[in-house]
Structure 1
Amino acid sequence: MKKLLLQNQLCFPLYALSRQVTAVYRPLLDKLELTYPQYLVMLVLWEADNKTVGELGDKLLLDSGTLTPLLKRLEQKKLITRQRNPADERQVTITLTEAGRDLQALAADIPTQLQASFQIDDQQAIQLRQQLTTLLQQLSPTNESNQ
């Protein structure tokens, strides 16, 4: 196998797929007036509210420099509030507002619509997610076998 051919690269289909998936999400998220990264934050908060910026960053694999402007925009949209911990000013807790909670009902069908656009069934979706999650974990900087 010629390793320097584009068709033999694992990275290219992952990159192209990521762009395509984001493009499929765009019209669905435009209805909610959310960007894809904002949607990811909302997913984490809908799962469990009152997260610190650090907890969000850990869950989404994003640093605070990336998260902070994103969170500010969500706060401007009145979907979240940000509050500093009085005991530790460096820690900021993110909480859903009522509007943020209400948005969850409007987003409820997005995963189904996305899966339909992929033309895969539930079992295929589960297998693909497991494979991608395994690869992500193997590449994670915290995975000691990579160091």
Structure 2
Amino acid sequence: MPDLPEPQRHVGNLIRRAQQLHLATWARVASPDITSAQYSILAVLDRLGEASQRELCDEVDLDRSTIADLVRRMEKAELITRRRAEGDARRNVVTLTAHGAAERTRLAPLVVEVQRELTGHLDAAESTALFQGLWAMLEGAGRDRSSDSRA
């Protein structure tokens, strides 16, 4: 929107502000203790049963150091367990604990509520367009990163 002043007219500014809104809404509605990134790991492990830390990186699109820190904190909170993979001492395999599975189940409807609060004032077409636009932006960035890594 060229008629808006800086920085409001920049997509990056809007993304930053939307992320701040998401974080505040998440802490208020879902959990002040389990982050949305940690919830993503719980959801992936619930779906896959177990995953290596590398697989978690790919599934939730976070770098290795961030995943390592999240896994360490989640293990300390007894949400997950981590063990060395049989036959590969460099690979950690991560699984949900009973507590982690219970938290995943408890949080699932709250995650839906977070999304409803964030997008509830949008009509269906706007909500779909927002999702599709963000997805396309991230997919395009992913293609750019993969082509950069081949260079």
Give the TM-score range, shorter chain: 0.7 to 0.9
Q: Distance in 2 between matches of 1:131 and 1:82?
A: 36
Which region of structure 1 is more displaced relative to structure 2, 38-47 or 78-87? 38-47
Match of 2:62 in 1: 62
Letter in 1 for 2:111: P
Match of 2:135 in 1: 133
TM-score by length of 1: 0.83
Contact 2:42/2:101 (CA < 8 Å) preserved in 1? no
* 1:1-147 equivalences in 2 (<5 Å): 1=2, 5-30=6-31, 33-118=33-118, 119=120, 120=122, 124-140=126-142, 141-143=145-147
Taking only aligned residues, the RMSD between alpha carbons, in angstroms, comes to 2.3
CA displacement, residues 39-90 of structure 1 (integer Å, 9 cap, x when unaligned): 2211222222201100100122212211112111111111111011131111
Query: What 5-or-longer segments of structure 2 have no aligned partner?
Result: none
Q: Distance in 1 between matches of 2:85 and 2:111?
A: 34
Q: Distance in 2 between matches of 1:126 and 1:52?
A: 33
TM-score by length of 2: 0.81
Q: Distance in 2 between matches of 1:44 and 1:135?
A: 22
Q: 1:122 to 1:109 in 2, by over 3 A?
A: farther
Q: Distance in 2 between matches of 1:49 and 1:26?
A: 27
Q: SS of 1:30's equivalent?
A: coil
- Higher-RCO chain (CA-CA 8 Å, sequence separation at least 6): 2
Give the drift of 1:105. Answer: 2.1
Q: Distance in 1 between matches of 2:51 and 2:140?
A: 26
Give the drift of 1:96. Answer: 0.6
Q: 1:121 to 1:8 in 2, by over 3 A?
A: closer
Letter in 1 for 2:131: R
Q: Distance in 2 between matches of 1:132 and 1:143?
A: 20
Q: How many residues align?
A: 143
Query: What 5-or-longer segments of structure 1 have no aligned partner?
Result: none
Give the drift of 1:29. Answer: 3.4
Q: SS of 2:94's equivalent?
A: strand
Q: Distance in 2 between matches of 1:143 and 1:131?
A: 21
- Give the share of equivalent positions with the same residue, in percent: 24
Q: Distance in 2 between matches of 1:142 and 1:46?
A: 28
Q: 1:135 to 1:28 in 2, by over 3 A?
A: same
Q: Distance in 2 between matches of 1:123 and 1:46?
A: 31
